[in-house]
Structure 1
Amino acid sequence: MNTLLTTFSALSDATRFSIVEQLMQDGEQPAGDLIEGRGMSGAAVSRHLKVLREAGLVRQRVQGTQRMYSIRPEGLYAIAEWTISKRQFWESSLDRLGDAIERDTSWPI
C-alpha cells in the first residue's frame, strides 16, 4: 500500500502528471524535450523527474550526453490493479443506487 501512496502522491502534481501523460503518448524522450513548454527551469523539471523515478513511474537511461526517460509500465500497472480491485465496490454501489431509484415512486419512469 505504501508504494501505491507514493505513486498517487507523485501523480498528484499537475506537472508530474503531464510528464507521465507525455511519455505515455509520445514514448521515450530526452529530458530536454520534457522541459520545453513547461515554463520552468531544467532544474525544476529534473526534480519532478526524480520524484517520478523514486515512485517507480519512469525510468532513466543515459544515451551519450542525454538522459532519456520512459514510462515504467509496472508502476502504472499498480494503479490499474488497485482500480480493478475496487470494481466490486463500484458495481454494488451502482446496484444499490438503481434499487433505490426503482423504489422511489417520486421518480417518473
Structure 2
Amino acid sequence: MRRDSFQAIADPTRREILQMIAYKPLNINSVTEKFDVSRTAIYKHIKILTECGLITVKQQGRERYCEAKLDKLKEVADWVEQYRKIWTERLDSLDDYLIQIQTKEK
C-alpha cells in the first residue's frame, strides 16, 4: 500500500509525533511516554510515518531513535499554496468590492 504525506498528517497523534521529533531525534520510549494510548498504537503511527518517508528509525545501541525527515512535507505545502493563491485573490476582490460599496455610499 502506497502511503503519502497527506495520510500521515491526517491523524492528530501523528502530527504530534512529528512535532515532538522535529527539532531533535527521540527514542521510541520517550515518544510513547507522551501519549495516553498503548505502545502498540504509537508503534503503528510510527510505522505509517516511516512508510510515508516523514521519519526514519535508527538503531543506536539498545535504543531506537525516531528522526524527522520533514522535507517530504513539501508535497503538502505545494498543494496548500495553490489554494492560498486562490483565496488571496478572492479575498482581495472582496476587499475591493467592499471599498467600492463604501465609496458609493458616501
Q: TM-score, normalised by structure 1?
A: 0.79
Structure 1 gaps, min length 5: none
1:11 aligned partner: 9
What is the alpha-carbon distance in structure 2 between the residues aligned to residue 45 and residue 87 of structure 1? 33
Structure 1 CA distance for aligned equivalents of residues 34 and 57 of structure 2: 21
Taking the aligned partners of 1:60 and 1:85, their CA distance within structure 2 comes to 32
The residue that corresponds to 2:60 in the other structure is: 63
Query: Helix, strand or coil: the match of 1:56?
Result: coil
- Residue 93 of structure 2: aligned partner: 96
The Cα RMSD (Å) is 2.4
How many matched pairs? 104
Deviation for aligned residue 1:18: 0.6
Aligned to 2:38: 41
What is the percent sequence identity of the aligned residues? Answer: 26
Unaligned runs of 5+ in 2: none
Shift in Å at residue 51 of structure 1? 0.8
